[in-house]
Amino acid sequence: MFPIIVIIILSLDQFSKFIVSKSLLLNSPVPVIKGVFYLTLVHNRGAAFGVLKDQVPLFILAALIAVILIYFNLRKNKHRQPFVYNLSLGLILAGAFGNLIDRLLYGHVVDFLDFRIWPVFNIADSAISIGAVILGWTICFRKSVK
């Protein structure tokens, strides 16, 4: 199940970024729900919320380390951990890998989901965030999850 999750999330992320990059003009919002949700193509050269701008080698190294650690953790413990734990790591891995691909290919991350009350983000960012919440929940309530 784990590889399927990673492949689906990674495919959705990369496909959506491809379509948006070919369809939208940079920094030109397109309203989907006026005043609430827009598609806005942004090239994020930093980390979350654009912090540490133009530190691409640092982000590539951090993502590679995260991908390797998650992969080996899952490989070693896949039958000893609850499904939700593996799901959380799968989401984080897919998201990290999706943004890593962008940094390696373009030197920036393609963001496009714009709710106006939050910085522009993408599917990979969502997968990382959801995975982190699930992971935190799993760790905090480990006994009730098993």
pLDDT digits (tens, 9 = 90+) for 60-89: 888 889 888 888 887 776 667 788 888 999
If you average pLDDT over residues 28-37, what whole number do you get? 97
Q: In what order do the strands lie in the sheet with 30-33?
A: 30-33, 37-44, 109-114
Three-state DSSP state, 37: strand
Q: Is 9 exposed, middle or buried (0-12, 13-18, 19+ CB in 10 A)?
A: buried
Please state the separation of Cα 13 from the chain's center in Å: 8
Q: What is the pLDDT of residue 125?
A: 94
Determine the average pLDDT of the residues in 40-62: 79
Q: Which tops the pLDDT comparison, 75 or 93?
A: 93
Task: State the average pLDDT over residues 110-137.
Answer: 95
- Residues 42, 121: Cα–Cα separation, whole Å: 9
- Residue where the block lists tokens 């980390």: 47
- Is 70 exceeded by the pLDDT of residue 17? yes
Region of poorest pLDDT, from 7-16, 73-82, 122-131: 73-82
Would you name the residues annotated as active-site residues? 111, 125
Domain locations in the chain as residue ranges: 2-51+83-139
Measure the CA–CA gap between 102 and 108, rounded to whole angstroms: 6
Section 121-142 average pLDDT: 92
Q: For 99-123, what is the mean pLDDT?
A: 94
Residue 41's pLDDT is: 98
Q: Give the pLDDT confidence score for residue 48 in this predicted structure.
A: 66
CA dist 139 and 145 (Å) reads: 9
pLDDT at res. 145: 45
